[in-house]
Amino acid sequence: MTRLLVVLMLLAAPCVAQREYGVNFAGSEYLGGAAGNLLLRTPIVSKGWRKPLPRLFVYTSISLFYETVLDNNGWQHGKDFWEREAGYLITETVIALIRRKL
């Protein structure tokens, strides 16, 4: 439950910052990738899908679907998609390094 609350707070922080302080996070694909990684680690996802490779498959599939079907700007050389993937992988790497140190 605590993890879910932390994830929700992380997802809500950009909205609050934008509304309260005029900070604009629009187009931050790296942040979207990081948020996707953290969201797929929560208990709302089946335990078997929270392992690294299935989690990467699910996130990549969702991101690709969004970019090709739902995004109004369409597929622009995959720039947004690859930035989200980089954000996802950077978060994955940082968490793995932290776990290795502990």
Tens of pLDDT, residue by residue over 44-83, are 888 888 899 999 999 999 999 888 888 777 777 788 899 9
Give me the residue label for tokens 């996707």.
36
Evaluate whether 85 touches 60 at the Cβ level (below 8 Å).
yes
Residue ranges per domain, the chain?
A: 28-101
Band of pLDDT at residue 1, cut at 50, 70 and 90: low
How far is 80 from 63, CA to CA, in rounded Å? 9
pLDDT at 26 over 90: no
Looking at residue 50, what DSSP letter applies?
Answer: G
75: CB partners within 8 A, 6+ apart: 67, 68, 81
How far is 42 from 1, CA to CA, in rounded Å? 9
